[in-house]
Structure 1
Amino acid sequence: GLAGADRLLGSSSGPPGFGFTLRGDGDIDNNQYPDLIVGAFGVDKTVVYRSRPVVSVDAQLVLTPRVLNPDEKTCHLPDSDTMATCFRVDVCMRISGMGIPETVVLQAELQLDWLKQRGGVKRVLFRDSRLPQLSQSITLGQQDKHHCLNYTVFLREEEEFRDKLTPISVALNYSLDQSSAYPGLSLRPVLDHYSKTFHQDQANILLDCGEDNMCIPDLKLSAVMDREELVIGDDNPLMLTINSANHGEGAYEAELHVLLPPEADYVGVERRREDLQRLNCEHRVENDTRVVVCDLGNPMVAGTNLFVGLRFTVQRLDDAGPHISFELQIHR
């Protein structure tokens, strides 16, 4: 097909003045589309550009339901006794166009949780294949210009992923199947330039955050040390007792970050005292900064009040000032 912005270039060995004459009001091959004849000055040959049939596609992608409750496991996974939370993906396509073939084959691709790229954990999978992507050939014709397919998708177990806040996006991308034969047509069809070949729809995981499903936590953080003075040349063991509380709605992916001063080294979580929680904490190096990261819950539900003891040694005091400081943050 020739769109208004197309440019037709003669070959480098072609006659000078290519495009001197144009005729575009005839249908030379009788395919219901006008063709273009291009000539050059003083040359007894012409070039014919024939228009290809144009297929217009109207596609729809719908997810049902759009809010997934992980506690409602009503969907049975095949070849197992496992029940899961599921939703339905409907793909509908309608074709139209003048002079299009008797049958048109579209190659459709569905990507689940497609915003999770570069190795991110896909939170949903197709029930039948247990894969996050699917390719499907869809054949449409004069007798079946509108066709719908549906698929069942399941939510993985909550312990298999952390992110419950980001919407779960499903993407549909389609194109004409280039391997299909079109008997009786000398030119292969093309997709309408204005057909939208990429569609997406989203579902959300139900959160413990009221009717609006929007979480507004109210986080509090405080800490005390078990010693006030440090001695140069000593190991200086100390424990930082940290209180993290949430007085608002659930805080998802909540983490306690403790940034260490240069003089301190992390020893571990205090596990002997029964009044302190045994959180999962790990030591990391982020941008040349040493930090201890503790998981506060996913979600850190309303009313949570955690006490954790983190043990350190403080040894490198020769060049230290009169004070050392630990910086505490809650990330979510």
Structure 2
Amino acid sequence: MIAIGAPGFSDWQGSVVIYNKANFATASILFVDHNYDKDFNTIMGYSVAIGQFFYDKVNYIATGAPRSKETGSLASIGDLNYDGFKDIAVGAPYENEGHGAVYIYHGTRFGLSKNYIQRIAAADQLSAFKLRGFGLSIATGHDVDNNDYPDLLIGSYMSDKAVLLRSRPVMSIKLSIKFNLHKSSEEIAQIDLKNQNCQLNSILYSCFDVVYCLHLKGEYLPKIQNVIVSFEIDSKLKRRGFVKVDENKLHQFNREANVSTKSNQCLEPISIYLDVRFVVFKCFQTYNINNQPKTEDKLTPMSISLSAKLNKEEQKSEFCKECPILSNEASISRNLDFETGCGIDQHCTADLRLDVRSNLSFILQGLNTEFPLYVQITNKGENAYSTKLQLAIQPAIDVNQISSYCEEHIEHEMVKINCDINNPLEEEQSKEIFFLLGLSKLSSTTQSITVDANVTTPSKSFSLKCEYLNSNLPMLPEDLTSDDESEESDVEMGNLKMKEEKVSRREAKLNEDDFNANTTAEKEPMLKLVSMKKFLSFD
């Protein structure tokens, strides 16, 4: 088959005439109705290229139209990247106010790439030559520097110059990673924080190894290539894991390696250490205490990202015909889940029960100076991670005693307390917390103390389950009691109305020994603060 451009056909709309070698007496005329696309059919056939641009190995015709928006000259330039498909160069001599440019398109198994792979502009990369009309003509098919890659000769007719563009080897990098037990070939699918199998400076850590491999592919490449691999450990939650480089704990770092081409080469694994002090469980948090940063969670998988590039410092400043260029952005990212103990699906469905109690039925103003509060959280479901207890006590009172894993602050005339509970709070496990609240600063007009309590934990599909309690503790005037009389009276407790006996001053004083946190069946507290109990779900 012979294709001949006929740019003057049909009043210079242009066409391509195709002859069959077996019969030159007949010809087929290829042209597109210029009424359909007036801008495209302008001197079509000025340049013609034939090549196998698709996977079917059939020859296709590409033609240029110098008065169209983009194409002027056009040439099949061979297989620049040695992927088995022919590539083309398209000249645009009138682009950039007449300076011109050349576009490179790769052939693929689906045809020519929709977007250009490279743009060579006379006004940018070749500005020193002061070219005009660059790209009107393209000559190809010759390897002038003997590196086995075809080179291009581009005409710049308005400058009376021709520019030789030499090609360099094209290389691709394929990355792969897997996770192994530390110093073992056994692959892991989850991180087990209970297995603290690494030690740094006398501190035990849970750790695992990242095994990463590079496959450099291309034709006529140097046998060894210097590559820089960039690592990013847990980009969103950087405190959970680190890599020890010299004496530093890093989340981002580079490694340089000499890699053999045309083979899958695995490099020395890197060890990632997880500090369990920071691998705690982030959950919905109503109150931000002292503007401290929120801690990271372990229900979110840990991400490990790698990217690779050629070490350009190893390449010479002048043109290096053997030095390859990358045809792709080499990167990979994988996630590694944490072991949660919640079955195969790794989704934990907890069932939390909240119990708030005190051994005071009421408070006598002027007599009771402290108010004990006991909170018990029980999990009846699967492991509860990132369990948080939140208390809001109104009016604002002093906190005389608080657990080391709780913090309090004053906000809007109320005390807010946040506590981190066991991580995890396992099935059928309970956690009890004691608070001692001071009453010395209460106003004499205060009628009750309100305690709002809720406990939250991530549940299945990462929604939040919350158990909520609201209770009121009445304040009774001091003259309500006497030392020698005992009568019955009605006492309001939230929404509950119950019979209470008037008690003496001695009986109303705080006695913490009356509360046994480990016994619920044999000995109940004097009063269980419950008036409302319900589940809330936050999506």
Same fold by TM-score, threshold 0.5 exceeded? yes
1:145 to 2:244 alignment? no
Offset of 1:128 from its aligned partner?
8.6
Alignment partner for residue 105 of structure 1, among 226, 247, 271? Answer: 226
Structure-1 residue corresponding to 2:36: none
Offset of 1:148 from its aligned partner?
1.0
Structure-2 residue corresponding to 1:190: 325
Structure-2 residue corresponding to 1:244: 377
Offset of 1:164 from its aligned partner?
3.4
Structure-2 residue corresponding to 1:52: 168
Alpha-carbon contact 2:303-2:335 (below 8 Å) kept: yes
Alignment partner for residue 88 of structure 1, among 186, 203, 209? Answer: 209
Structure 1 192/6 Cα, relative in aligned 2: closer, same or farther at 3 Å?
closer
- Give the Cα–Cα distance (whole angstroms) in 2 for the partners of residues 129 and 170 of structure 1: 21
1:208 to 2:341 alignment? yes
Structure-1 residue corresponding to 2:397: 265
Structure 1 239/81 Cα, relative in aligned 2: closer, same or farther at 3 Å?
closer
Structure-1 residue corresponding to 2:240: 122
Offset of 1:281 from its aligned partner?
1.3
- Give the Cα–Cα distance (whole angstroms) in 2 for the partners of residues 237 and 175 of structure 1: 66
Residues 296-316 of structure 1: per-residue CA shift (max 9 Å, x gap)? 111112212333333445757
Residues 68-119 of structure 1: per-residue CA shift (max 9 Å, x gap)? 334445x4648x77776443321111111123223211111333334423xx
- Give the Cα–Cα distance (whole angstroms) in 2 for the partners of residues 149 and 218 of structure 1: 46
Alpha-carbon contact 1:254-1:300 (below 8 Å) kept: yes
Structure-2 residue corresponding to 1:40: 156
Question: TM-score by structure 2 length?
Answer: 0.49
Alpha-carbon contact 2:388-2:420 (below 8 Å) kept: yes
Structure-2 residue corresponding to 1:158: 276
Amino acid at match of 1:295: D
Amino acid at match of 2:229: A
Structure-2 residue corresponding to 1:273: none
Alpha-carbon contact 2:383-2:426 (below 8 Å) kept: yes
Aligned residue for 1:243, secondary structure, equals strand
Structure-1 residue corresponding to 2:191: 68
Q: How many residues align?
A: 314
- Give the Cα–Cα distance (whole angstroms) in 1 for the partners of residues 437 and 203 of structure 2: 45
Offset of 1:55 from its aligned partner?
0.9
Structure 1 293/97 Cα, relative in aligned 2: closer, same or farther at 3 Å?
same
Structure 1 190/327 Cα, relative in aligned 2: closer, same or farther at 3 Å?
farther
Alpha-carbon contact 2:298-2:338 (below 8 Å) kept: yes
More displaced stretch, 25-34 vs 251-260: 25-34
More displaced stretch, 107-116 vs 91-100: 107-116
Aligned residue for 1:252, secondary structure, equals coil
Question: TM-score by structure 1 length?
Answer: 0.75
Residues 25-72 of structure 1: per-residue CA shift (max 9 Å, x gap)? 443333333333333334321223333221111221111212233444
Amino acid at match of 2:396: A
Structure-1 residue corresponding to 2:304: 170
Amino acid at match of 1:151: P
Structure 1 188/218 Cα, relative in aligned 2: closer, same or farther at 3 Å?
same
Aligned residue for 1:179, secondary structure, equals helix
Structure 1 7/297 Cα, relative in aligned 2: closer, same or farther at 3 Å?
same
Offset of 1:324 from its aligned partner?
6.3
Structure-1 residue corresponding to 2:417: 292
Structure-2 residue corresponding to 1:308: 433
- Give the Cα–Cα distance (whole angstroms) in 1 for the partners of residues 215 and 414 of structure 2: 56
Alignment partner for residue 137 of structure 2, among 18, 21, 33? Answer: 21
- Give the Cα–Cα distance (whole angstroms) in 2 for the partners of residues 330 and 285 of structure 1: 19
More displaced stretch, 292-301 vs 184-193: 184-193
Unaligned regions of 5+ residues in structure 2, if any?
A: 1-79, 81-103, 106-115, 181-187, 281-296, 458-539
Q: What is the RMSD of the two structures over their aligned residues, measured on CA atoms?
A: 3.9
- Give the Cα–Cα distance (whole angstroms) in 2 for the partners of residues 48 and 264 of structure 1: 82
Aligned residue for 2:135, secondary structure, equals coil
Offset of 1:289 from its aligned partner?
8.3
Structure-1 residue corresponding to 2:113: none
- Give the Cα–Cα distance (whole angstroms) in 2 for the partners of residues 6 and 87 of structure 1: 41
Offset of 1:294 from its aligned partner?
1.4
- Give the Cα–Cα distance (whole angstroms) in 1 for the partners of residues 343 and 122 of structure 2: 66
Offset of 1:256 from its aligned partner?
0.4
More displaced stretch, 103-112 vs 288-297: 288-297
Aligned residue for 2:269, secondary structure, equals strand
Structure 1 229/127 Cα, relative in aligned 2: closer, same or farther at 3 Å?
same
Structure 1 326/185 Cα, relative in aligned 2: closer, same or farther at 3 Å?
same
Structure 1 43/251 Cα, relative in aligned 2: closer, same or farther at 3 Å?
same
Unaligned regions of 5+ residues in structure 1, if any?
A: 271-277
Offset of 1:177 from its aligned partner?
0.9
Structure-1 residue corresponding to 2:407: 282
Aligned residue for 1:21, secondary structure, equals strand
Structure 1 21/245 Cα, relative in aligned 2: closer, same or farther at 3 Å?
same
Amino acid at match of 2:137: T
- Give the Cα–Cα distance (whole angstroms) in 1 for the partners of residues 412 and 230 of structure 2: 39
Aligned residue for 1:138, secondary structure, equals strand
- Give the Cα–Cα distance (whole angstroms) in 1 for the partners of residues 350 and 233 of structure 2: 29
- Give the Cα–Cα distance (whole angstroms) in 2 for the partners of residues 181 and 106 of structure 1: 12
Q: Which structure is richer in relative contact order (CA contacts within 8 A, separation 6 or more)? A: 1
Structure 1 44/124 Cα, relative in aligned 2: closer, same or farther at 3 Å?
closer
Alpha-carbon contact 2:192-2:338 (below 8 Å) kept: yes
Residues 170-204 of structure 1: per-residue CA shift (max 9 Å, x gap)? 222211011214799436421112x5x22123333
More displaced stretch, 289-298 vs 183-192: 183-192
